[in-house]
């Protein structure tokens, strides 16, 4: 009985949050919200900057995701492989402690780290360096790195022993085994981990707040410029909106962000279901 109540309480709490956003926000979602009064094609080909719409924020979030996944993916994959296949038990427990700590660091501290690196570079290398898209992406990469390492490691380690040992026993080297057997068989698991990491990138606000996001910047022109991002826009509206139409845009933006993260979650879940099917009939 008690646990029924708990389950219902949690579910209603969640429904309230989502329902509130949907009821308040659905009217706000239209093309004007995203592109304001700029023509669609002009916006897409960057002929004209979009003012007052969410288009720059969406582009900013997208480029942030691409850049930070680009930094974190090779590093995370390589360390995950090392932890799963090469490391000795002692080395493994040390590295996985480090990964756990990195995963536990509050995102604002990671942002502060990015910010202090900017100051450092500004002082010692060039006074041209300011908080920018590149620094944000690098700091975000640190934030999602532990997730990628963990998923890669767990994905490889949870493969059945016969899959892990067949190729080496046939004379394949360790590297060949990794490239041709382990990675392909663990791929869907790793991919769904990456999708979740993308979700973290899309939602995080604290890191970018300290490393170069601003309220109005337009579409970023280079990796060294300021940028806009959806989550920061939502935060900004919540704290300094001045009229109801701005507030309406905030609701719209929140709903779009919610849809994006729910979509990413659904994608990851779908990939997982696919592997479950595959493992049931395969191997």
Partner 1 sequence: MLFKENIARIVFLSASILSAVATLLILGFMILLSLPVLETGMIWGILTDPWSPDHGRFGILAMIVGTVYISSFSLLISFPISLGCSFFIQIIHPDSPGRFLKLLVQLMTAIPTVIYGFVGVFLLVPIVRKVFSYGSGMSILSASLMLAILISPTMILFFSQSFARVPKRFLDATEALGATSFQKLFYVILPNAWTGVFTGLVLAFGRAMGDTLIALMISGNSVVLPSSILDSARTLTAHIAMIIAADFDSIEFKTIFICGGVLYIMTSCGILLARFSVKKRVR
Per CB under 8 A, the list member of 53, 199, 220, 252 interacting with partner 1 is: 199
Per CB under 8 A, the list member of 66, 98, 165, 273 interacting with partner 1 is: 98
Residue among 143, 136, 147 at smallest CA distance from 77? 147
**Residue 57 Cβ, how far from partner 1 at the closest point, in Å?**
12
Q: What is the C-alpha separation between 208 and 17, in angstroms, rounded? A: 25
Q: For 29-99, where are the E strands, in sequence order?
A: none
* Alpha carbon 119 to its chain's center: 25
Q: Helix 244-281 vs helix 183-203: angle between axes, to the nearest 10 degrees?
A: 170
Give the residue carrying structure tokens 């022109």: 221
**Residue 230 Cβ, how far from partner 1 at the closest point, in Å?**
9
Of 237 and 275, CB closest to partner 1 = 237
Q: Is 167 left (phi over 0), alpha (psi -120 to 50) or beta?
A: alpha
The region of 28-36, 159-167, 185-193, 237-245 touching partner 1 under the rule CB under 8 A is 237-245
Interface pattern 138-157 for partner 1 (x via CB under 8 A):
----x--xx--x--------
Residue 196 as a binder of partner 1 (CB under 8 A): the answer is yes
**Residue 35 Cβ, how far from partner 1 at the closest point, in Å?**
22
Residue among 67, 69, 78 at smallest CA distance from 149? 78
Of 38 and 232, CB closest to partner 1 = 232
Residue among 164, 144, 158 at smallest CA distance from 69? 144
DSSP letter (8 states) at residue 85: I
Residue 107 as a binder of partner 1 (CB under 8 A): the answer is yes
Residue 130 as a binder of partner 1 (CB under 8 A): the answer is no
Q: What is the C-alpha separation between 270 and 265, in angstroms, rounded? A: 9
Q: Using CB under 8 A, which residues numbered 64 to 93 contact partner 1?
A: 74-76, 78-79, 81-83, 85-87
Residue 182 as a binder of partner 1 (CB under 8 A): the answer is no
Of 110 and 219, CB closest to partner 1 = 110
State the Cα torsion 228-229-230-233 to the nearest 10°: -50
Q: Using CB under 8 A, which residues numbered 28 to 57 contact partner 1?
A: none
3-state secondary structure at position 227? strand
Of 36 and 258, CB closest to partner 1 = 258
Of 49 and 92, CB closest to partner 1 = 92
The region of 13-21, 29-37, 181-189, 212-220 touching partner 1 under the rule CB under 8 A is 13-21
């Amino acid at each position: 009985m008690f646990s029924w109540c708990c389950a219902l309480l949690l579910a209603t709490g969640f429904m309230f949050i989502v329902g509130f956003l949907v009821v308040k926000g659905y009217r706000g979602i239209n093309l004007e919200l995203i592109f304001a009064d700029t023509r669609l094609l002009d916006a897409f080909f960057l002929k004209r900057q979009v003012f007052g719409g969410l288009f720059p924020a969406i582009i900013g979030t997208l480029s942030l995701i691409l850049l930070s996944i680009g930094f974190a993916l090779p590093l995370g994959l390589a360390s995950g492989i090392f932890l799963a296949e090469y490391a000795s038990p002692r080395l493994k427990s040390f590295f996985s402690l480090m990964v756990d700590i990195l995963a536990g660091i509050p995102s604002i501290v990671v942002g502060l780290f990015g910010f202090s690196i900017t100051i450092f570079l500004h002082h010692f290398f060039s006074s041209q360096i300011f908080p920018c898209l590149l620094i944000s992406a690098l700091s975000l990469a640190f934030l999602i790195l532990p997730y990628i390492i963990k998923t890669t490691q767990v994905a490889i380690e949870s493969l059945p022993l016969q899959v892990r040992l067949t190729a080496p026993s046939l004379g394949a080297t360790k590297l060949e085994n990794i490239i041709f057997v382990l990675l392909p068989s663990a791929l869907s698991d790793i991919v769904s981990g990456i999708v979740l990491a993308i979700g973290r990138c899309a939602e995080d606000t604290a890191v970018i707040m300290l490393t170069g996001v601003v309220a109005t910047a337009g579409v970023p022109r280079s990796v060294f410029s300021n940028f806009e991002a959806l989550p920061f826009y939502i935060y900004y509206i919540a704290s300094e909106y001045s009229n109801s139409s701005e507030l309406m845009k905030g609701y719209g933006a929140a709903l779009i962000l919610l849809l994006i993260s729910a979509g990413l979650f659904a994608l990851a879940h779908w990939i997982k279901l696919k592997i479950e099917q595959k493992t049931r009939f395969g191997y």
